[in-house]
């Protein structure tokens, strides 16, 4: 296979909260409206930003992470996208150099130029100094220029532009506009499915604003990147004829597209259902309860008695169940919201979940299951009290302290960890098909 050429740009920032998702989304919407095929990738483990970005560009948005996904996987996904796209945009995570590996590491590995996005509220020439420092910190990256977000005026923009060195141009400046800002809640942005019409208005309004900023000139700053081919073996059909029921609705929506694709590549038939609205499970051999926001739908979940009974029957029939984060909370005896009384849920595991208004846990971890290590991440704003004995504790990527507890009871594997299935397809196949030792 030959290398593939495609314009690409990596949007990064000094920190979280600078507007990376908003600007990436409106850029994608503007170029999509010009008839260009735009593919977007999101750095790191994120379920919410990709929903916004997918609506913006009209194409699937995938995760890239050198630790969780692996370099070979990232190289293959970028190569495939480059063959089908007029432009590739990558949204970074946190700050430019935060994490190990960082956004800068990812950009350097694949030779993708960076656009430094900065909220310039409350500063002018200092923004230029900060941008220059970030761009000069490493010599193995290429910074195409600065995007000044939330500018106060044209004069504000001109002050920043004049202070930048010739080697670091101002790509464009967006003035403050609440009609573009995206709504947030405790784990990040509000899900795209909850604000579809409002989101469309914001995306189109932002694209209209961009139209006055010569975004065609901006495209010239996107380097034409040579993406190298990466062959990966087709996973074995270890789940042939296996039917997997997957919870998917407003309460359970944290699902990597890559996980679904892998299950299908291994031969599984995927059957989606709603714990909120359906009263019975699909006729399935295994069950996946992914993460999401069960805490926002407690009353409806607890009052859907037919569904609770159906999942309990599935559990008691010793069929495989994987429950991640929100799905794990759903499996406990009750969940305590921030305000009000605790609500009874499935009771497949003893104990309760307790929502918190701050704190929580996040970070890259691997689950050292008997079937093999599976990489993933943790991100939650709740705690649990349980008398259950964990099967194992996850291993943190960069710290020796024990990670999340992972439980196994009958054929249920449950814990806070969100697993990235392509990191170990064989182990995932065993979770959904093998008989575990009963405890």
Q: Which residues contact 192 (CB under 8 A, 6 or more apart)?
A: 51, 52, 54, 55, 199
Q: Assess contact for 408 and 390: CB atoms under 8 A.
A: no
Backbone φ and ψ of 372, nearest 5°: 135, 165
Answer yes or no: are the C-beta atoms of 357 and 334 closer than 8 Å. no
Query: Is position 325 annotated as part of the catalytic site?
Result: yes
CB 115 within 8 A of CB 85: no
Alpha carbon of residue 358 to chain centroid: 20
Q: If we measure between CA atoms, which residue out of 64, 68, 44 comes closest to residue 397?
A: 68
Q: Which of 57, 325, 331, 361 is catalytic?
A: 325
The secondary element (H helix, E strand) that includes residue 93 is none
Neighbours of 224 (CB within 10 A): 9
Spatial distance between the Cα atoms of 328 and 431, rounded to a whole number of angstroms: 15
Element of type H or E holding 292:
strand 291-292
Q: Rounded to whole angstroms, how far apart are CA atoms 82 and 69?
A: 18
Instruction: Please identify every residue annotated as catalytic.
Output: 325
């Amino acid at each position: 296979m030959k290398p593939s050429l495609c314009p690409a740009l990596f949007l990064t920032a000094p920190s979280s909260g600078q507007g990376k998702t908003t600007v990436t989304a409106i850029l994608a919407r503007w170029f999509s409206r010009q008839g260009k095929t735009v593919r977007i990738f999101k750095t790191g483990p994120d379920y919410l930003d990709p929903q916004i970005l997918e609506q913006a560009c009209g194409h699937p948005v995938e995760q890239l992470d050198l630790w969780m996904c692996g370099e070979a996987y990232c190289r293959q996904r970028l190569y495939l996208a480059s063959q089908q796209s007029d432009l590739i945009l990558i949204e970074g995570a946190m700050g430019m150099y935060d994490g190990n590996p960082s956004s800068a590491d990812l950009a350097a590995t694949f030779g993708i130029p960076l656009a430094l996005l900065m909220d310039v509220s409350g500063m002018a020439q200092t923004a230029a100094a900060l941008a220059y420092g970030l761009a000069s910190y490493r010599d193995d990256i290429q910074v195409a220029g600065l995007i000044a977000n939330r500018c106060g005026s044209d004069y504000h923009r001109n002050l920043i532009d004049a202070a930048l060195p010739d080697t670091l141009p101002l790509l464009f400046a967006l003035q403050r506009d609440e009609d573009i800002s995206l709504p947030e809640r405790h784990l990040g942005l509000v899900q795209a499915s909850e604000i579809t019409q409002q989101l469309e208005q914001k995306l189109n309004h932002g694209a209209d604003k961009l139209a006055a900023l010569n975004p065609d000139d901006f495209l010239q700053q996107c380097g034409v990147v040579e993406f190298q081919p990466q062959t990966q073996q087709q996973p074995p059909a270890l789940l042939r004829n296996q039917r997997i029921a997957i919870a998917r609705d407003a309460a359970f929506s944290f699902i990597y597209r890559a996980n679904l694709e892998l299950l299908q590549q291994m031969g599984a038939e995927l059957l989606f259902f709603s714990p909120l609205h359906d009263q019975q499970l699909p006729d399935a051999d295994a069950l996946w309860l992914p993460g999401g926001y069960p805490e926002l739908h407690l009353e409806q979940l607890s009052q859907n008695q037919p569904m609770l009974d159906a999942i309990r029957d599935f559990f008691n029939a010793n069929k495989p169940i994987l429950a991640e984060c929100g799905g794990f909370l759903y499996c406990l005896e009750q969940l305590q919201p921030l305000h009000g009384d605790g609500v009874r849920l499935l009771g497949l595991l003893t104990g309760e979940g307790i929502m918190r208004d701050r704190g929580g846990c996040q970070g890259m971890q691997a689950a050292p299951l008997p079937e093999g290590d599976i990489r993933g991440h943790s991100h939650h704003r709740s705690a649990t009290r349980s008398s259950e004995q964990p099967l194992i504790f996850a291993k943190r990527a960069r710290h020796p302290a024990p990670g999340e507890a992972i439980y196994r009871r009958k054929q249920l594997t449950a814990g806070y960890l969100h697993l990235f299935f392509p990191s170990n397809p064989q182990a995932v196949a065993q979770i959904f098909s093998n008989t575990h030792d009963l405890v």
